[in-house]
Amino acid sequence: MKNLSLILVFFALLFASCKKESKHLASATPTVYASGYIRNTPGATGTPMATLWTNGTATSLGDGIHESNAGTPFVYGTDIYQAGHIYNGSFAVATLWKNGVATSLSDGTSSAGAGSVYVNGTDVYVLGNISKSVVGYGIKYIPTIWKNGVATSLTGVSNNNSAAASSMYVDGTDIYVAGNDYDANKAVVWKNGVVASLTDGTTNAQAVSVFVSGSDVYVAGYEINAANTAATVKLWKNGVVTDITDGTTYCNANGLYVDGSDVYIVGQSQDSSGAYFATLWKNGVATHLTDGTSTAAYTTAVYVNGSDVYIAVNELNDVVTTAKLWKNGVLTNLSDGIHDATVYGLLVK
């Protein structure tokens, strides 16, 4: 699959969702925030620099020397938070930016990344993954929540806690995290640190985004077939699964938003000819956001503001990926198509 190496930069899709308001007042003149990276030189070989786009204007968080990347933005009052990583020369260091100022979350002795952040009063929550080397096994990943800089591991999965977290939703005092148990091949969701399996481990599955609306917990993900030739996009509502695609081609989910009775899932779909499309599924009905002529195309995040639907889209043509924003059927470039760039997170406020 052409896009997985890009998506896995954040250690198992860690660019997806932070807390999204299921009930919010739509702004008549909203500010659209997006985040990801832009390389510092033309083409796809330069240094990725963590980037914040504000209404389409890019601001770099990186220094152009050390690789950096940023996940979903979060705005609290006048402050803008982003989580991601900065490469220290040996390892990726999980990092939190507040108004462009970086603070390290991990110690830099092993690779770590972050992608979701949520702020409530003086408390700042960041979701990420830390890698560790295990004798006789190799590299394992530890899903981690930092609260005000203090790390807590998410446990309860099989075989020495090899797992990955991809999405966080904070609802009052409850913290939900979607991810996967690597060793058991299961899609899982944690609520306040207690893990529950969404799949049985028969085939490999990923839970990529979690969203809470009222008393309902929604999780989007996908499950790969035994032959590794196709994948089915799935939606779990309170643990009950619905297949969104038919499983005949390779499709995957990357983002989720619930607005009233409408459920939006974004990701990538493939047709019978093998062409890939950035895709939105609204209540199970697919809409292609790209035309299938690019080398690869996929979406990473969706946000609904009133009657407006915003989607982060990435489209690869041969060498360079162009970051784009889709709004109500209109696709606009965020990057110039000359410098390789990718957008991961989206917030409209």
Domain containing residue 177: CATH number: 2.120.10.30
Q: What percent of the chain has pLDDT over 90?
A: 85
Band (16; pLDDT cuts 50, 70, 90): very low
Distance CA 147, CA 119 (A): 10
Residue 347's closest CA among 307, 306, 302, 316? 302
Residue 246's closest CA among 230, 268, 267? 230
pTM: 0.92
pLDDT for 223 equals: 97
Examine the pLDDT at 10 and tell me if it is beyond 90: no
113: DSSP letter = E
Say which residue the tokens 């938070």 belong to: 81
Total number of residues shown for the chain: 349
Examine the pLDDT at 18 and tell me if it is beyond 60: no
More confident: 140 or 74: 74
| Greatest alpha-carbon span in the chain | 57
Residue 295's closest CA among 314, 280, 272? 314
Examine the pLDDT at 37 and tell me if it is beyond 80: yes
2-16, 57-71, 172-186: range with lowest mean pLDDT: 2-16
8-12, 85-89, 269-273, 275-279: range with lowest mean pLDDT: 8-12
Distance CA 148, CA 103 (A): 11
The whole-number average pLDDT for the span 221-226 is 97
CB 208 within 8 A of CB 220: yes
Say which residue the tokens 């930092």 belong to: 146
CB 306 within 8 A of CB 287: no
Distance CA 244, CA 265 (A): 9
Q: What percent of the chain has pLDDT over 70?
A: 91
DSSP 144-155: EEEETTEEEE--
Range of the domain at 272: 4-348
Examine the pLDDT at 134 and tell me if it is beyond 50: yes
Band (133; pLDDT cuts 50, 70, 90): confident
The whole-number average pLDDT for the span 31-45 is 97
Band (141; pLDDT cuts 50, 70, 90): confident
The whole-number average pLDDT for the span 220-239 is 97
pLDDT for 8 equals: 35
pLDDT for 253 equals: 98
Distance CA 109, CA 46 (A): 24
pLDDT for 161 equals: 57
9-18, 131-140, 251-260: range with lowest mean pLDDT: 9-18
Number of domains in the chain: 1
Examine the pLDDT at 147 and tell me if it is beyond 90: yes
Token duo for residue 315 = 């489209």
CB 310 within 8 A of CB 327: yes
Examine the pLDDT at 170 and tell me if it is beyond 60: yes
The whole-number average pLDDT for the span 102-126 is 96
